Amino acid sequence: MNDRQAGTSGHRASAAGIVARCAVLIVSDSRTVETDESGPLAARLIESAGHQVVHRALIPNDDARVHEEITALLSRDDVDAIILSGGTGLGARDRTVEVVHPLLERKLPGFGELFRWISHQEQIGTAAILTRALAGVARGKLVVSLPGSKAAVDLALSKLLLPELRHVLHEIRR
């Protein structure tokens, strides 16, 4: 094990007791609480990883509404991470990224890069270039914006976010 790996292992060990308090926002004009599968899946995955879902909402794909919801969550003391699903494509109404991006004080470009790479390898091939998934830090909280599909939420949470969530929050808090 090299020094960098040893440092990462030490930080992960220090973060082992962290329980993330998460908000899950589904951004969609076409889904309802009854038809949405991404929100319940995200909540199940988060909770099965030992974290908490402290807020869940389904909101329209409207810049002002998305901004209002995110800024309200950024002000809450009981939220460590905000996970958005929807609005990351190229359609005219896909504007979640335009709302989230300016709120981020520090970006995590590796998240989007890895998400697209794994999506390319395992799920959708070259269509992975059409997603603008991103992650970063705003006001000391992790903010992640994912595509709206159930498969994208599963991939992002299971393979990228949840394995590193404690470590990410530990680093944010240092």
**Distance from the first to the final alpha carbon of the chain:** 24
pLDDT tens track for 26-37 = 999 999 899 999
Report helix, strand or coil for 75. coil
pLDDT tens track for 84-107 = 999 988 888 889 999 999 999 999
Integer CA distances (angstroms), 68 to 64, 92, 97, in order: 6, 20, 14
pLDDT for the residue 123 = 76
Mean pLDDT for all residues in the chain: 91
pLDDT for the residue 89 = 85
Domains of the chain: 18-173 (3.40.980.10)
Average pLDDT over residues 110-132: 92
